[in-house]
Chain A
Amino acid sequence: MLKFVSSILFVVVVASPVMAADEFGDADRGATLFKDCKSCHQLGPGAKNRVGPVLNGIFGRAAASVEKFKYSKSLKRAGTDGLVWDFERLSAYIENPKAFASGTRMNYRGMKSVTDRNDLLAYLRDFSDNPQNIPEAAPTARALSHDLDPAILAIVGDPEYGEYLSNECLTCHRADGAAEGIPSITLWPEEDFVVAMHAYKRQLRPHPVMQMMAGRLSNEEIAALAAYFAQLEE
């Protein structure tokens, strides 16, 4: 019963910022804003817990769930009550940490500007691996930001080679588009596919299997795969 009551309290606290929150902003600007967080939080390959927990994969993660990190009682209770970090909740937390979870150990004054928060979250999202669907699904869904060389995007892929290469994908990803534990990769927009594969190749997206798979594909091979998948029909 107590649990139930405290979850309701959470909803109430969270409800107002939801309305104010906008959409993911400019990740590059977010990278600059992240400098404020860096003294306590690490992000990216090889990140470790410091004063604050690692922020890789924060989207879709249950509150207070990084093992071996000593959380405040407040955040632990939030985690037990089922709080999962999504855009709205992260935005509310960053806006005023103590208002969101009174006992949090995060000594941060808060980020008042919606634009700043949207940009920061866009940056954090680039290090989130949950979920990986392309086009992305909640909680990180929105158009992809990327800095891929237009020359790479312009490569015209060889769909027949792409069909051969796609055989390797089908060991895990389902040809029928079913997504059960492993995301569906059929019927992607061609450009999103290329962008996502290059993000794995450059280790910006964090999944180790995909980093390994994409890591050895050439620009032409990624284009070939995109061309093949783009020509599939339902």
Chain B
Amino acid sequence: MKLNRRLFLGTAAAATASLAAPMVMAASHGKPNVVVIGGGAGGATAARYIAKDSKGEINVTLIEPTRRYYTCFFSNLYLGGFREMESLGHGYGGMAAGGVNVVHDWAVGIDRDAKTVALAGGGSVPYDKLILSPGIDFVEGAVPGWSIAAQNAMPHAYKAGSQTELLKAQIMAMPEGGTFAMVAPPNPFRCPPGPYERISMVAHTLKENNPTAKILILDPKEKFSKQGLFEEGWANHYDGMIERIGPDFGGASVEVRPDSMEVVVDGEVEKVDVCNVIPAMKAGRICEMAGVTDGNWAPVNAADMSSKADADIHVLGDASSQGDMPKSGFSANSQAKVCANAVRGALTGSRVFPAKFSNTCWSLIDTDNGIKVGATYEATDEKIAKVDGFISATGEDAALRKATFEESVGWYSGITADMMG
């Protein structure tokens, strides 16, 4: 599928005409350079769209340490036995073939004056526009007793891949009637329904393999995303299995002891068999190194996702602080398209259109029982502001829930194709 020749020539002529205006902002000679750090839902989409739409007018470099990207979205379905891990992995070959220079390395420093990115493997890459989409890192000391050193005993599984596989193996190895505990994160965090979809998926796996097992959620939040829908689903499908301790009963005062597999809730020691610790989150550390964070996140202007600290740096997805959008793969993908259009316009004079954002988060409660929540957003002077939204209703019929799940599977294929080419 591509534009036909006549239209392509027409657009090219229009682009050339606008190039005559003094809009070209390339700092160096030759073609402008865009560097994207992070090849997930935000970064991969931005890199691919800029390369695709600029038709060779912009050099696009993507810096991403992993050779294969495992999506965090849908990784709960692996825990529930609804997806194979390999079906969540995506290579960067399509993107390279689409004209993106894919560099598998770590970005370890950003020189905003010289406009270069230093790589762990040595050398540096110059940029005219830099796009940061590093996802999340964890706030150190957020859960007393837990650190990266303890993540094998108590996995977070909130960056998909080996951690997710480890958590699944631990669930399968639980003793009969054992306890799975989750330390849920405080707001804001990646994928607001994620921990609760995970609870549903773990419950599904335990119901099949270990039906007398218990699930304990230690939650610092009063409320959570799609709460009514999840609680209805848990009561209908996993009755008596799941207990949630909110902040009123000590859910906000939790310490973990990875060596003895204990959790201490408001002073009470509890022995557990699996402990999924999802600590408080912050923007991927490269944002801090670039000096574009304020607190844990990187504030951006809603119109083009540019950093409030540096007009030549854009921050996408989970790492950004933008207003009303949830931190999700869908949001990052949506923001990336707005950003790509703005970056291309700034560098080549192509037309810049008004920002439109949207998000939908699907979650699975049990086999063929999908729910969703979504909204549209617009850019205002202060933030990305919600325009309109919807949420699945409680008591929906089985056919609708099945259709919602099938739709989510379709969306997964759609967004991964859209990201990776």
Q: List chain A positions with a Cβ less than 8 A from chain B.
A: 57, 61-62, 65-68, 130, 159-161, 164-165, 167-168, 170-182, 186, 208-209, 211-213, 215-216, 231-234
Contact = CB atoms under 8 A, between A and B. Distances in A.
A42 to B, nearest CB: 14
A160 B417 contact: no
13 contacts: A65-B398, A67-B397, A160-B351, A164-B353, A168-B337, A171-B330, A171-B418, A172-B407, A175-B418, A179-B410, A208-B374, A216-B387, A231-B7
Nearest to B336: A167
Given A62-B399, A180-B410, A182-B411, A233 B4 contact: yes
A209 B392 CA distance: 11
Given A172-B415, A208-B374, A167 B337 contact: yes
B320 to A, nearest CB: 18
A182 B410 contact: yes
A232 B353 contact: no
A234 B1 contact: yes
B331 to A, nearest CB: 10
B338 to A, nearest CB: 9
A159 to B, nearest CB: 7
Contacts of A179: 410
Given A67-B395, A164-B353, A178-B413, A231 B3 contact: yes
B390 A231 contact: no
B23 interface: no
Interface string B368-405: 00001011101000000001111000011111100100
A168 B388 contact: no
A181 B407 contact: yes
Contacts of B418: 170-171, 175
Given A208-B374, A216-B376, A234-B1, A168 B409 contact: no
B406 A67 contact: no
A160 B408 CA distance: 29
Contacts of A208: 372, 374, 390
A68 B395 contact: yes
A65 B399 CA distance: 7
A160 B11 CA distance: 8
B414 interface: yes
A180 B412 CA distance: 10
A174 B2 CA distance: 13
A14 to B, nearest CB: 21
B4 A213 contact: no
Nearest to A68: B395
Label chain A's interface by main secondary structure: loop
A180 B334 CA distance: 21
A62 B408 CA distance: 21
B261 interface: no
Given A171-B330, A171-B418, A216-B376, A61 B411 contact: no
Interface residues of B, number: 45
B238 to A, nearest CB: 19
A89 B408 CA distance: 30
A159 B410 contact: no
Interface of B: 1-4, 7, 11, 14, 49, 330, 333-334, 337, 341, 351, 353, 356, 358, 360, 372, 374-376, 378, 387-390, 395-400, 403, 406-411, 413-415, 417-418
A167 B49 contact: yes
A118 to B, nearest CB: 25
Given A212-B375, A216-B356, A231-B7, A61 B399 contact: yes
Nearest to A186: B1
B417 A67 contact: no
A-B interface, 6 closest residue pairs, ranked by CB to CB distance from nearest: A181-B410, A182-B410, A67-B397, A181-B406, A208-B390, A167-B337
Contacts of B397: 65-68
A130 B389 CA distance: 22
Contacts of A65: 397-399
Contacts of B396: 67
B398 A172 contact: no
B390 to A, nearest CB: 4
Pick the most buried of B374, B387, B395, B411: most chain A CB atoms within 10 A of its CB: B411
Contacts of B406: 181
A49 to B, nearest CB: 10
A212 B360 CA distance: 11
Pick the most buried of A173, A176, A212: most chain B CB atoms within 10 A of its CB: A212
B349 to A, nearest CB: 13
B408 A181 contact: yes
A172 B411 contact: yes
Given A130-B403, A159-B7, A182-B407, 15 more contacts: A61-B399, A68-B397, A160-B351, A167-B49, A171-B414, A171-B418, A176-B1, A179-B410, A180-B409, A186-B1, A212-B374, A212-B375, A215-B376, A231-B3, A232-B3
B317 to A, nearest CB: 13
Contacts of A161: 351, 353
Nearest to B405: A181
A216 B356 CA distance: 9
Pick the most buried of A170, A171, A173, A182: most chain B CB atoms within 10 A of its CB: A171
A211 B387 CA distance: 13
A76 to B, nearest CB: 14
A41 to B, nearest CB: 15
A130 B417 CA distance: 25
Contacts of A215: 376, 388
Contacts of B378: 216
A211 B390 CA distance: 10
A208 B411 CA distance: 15
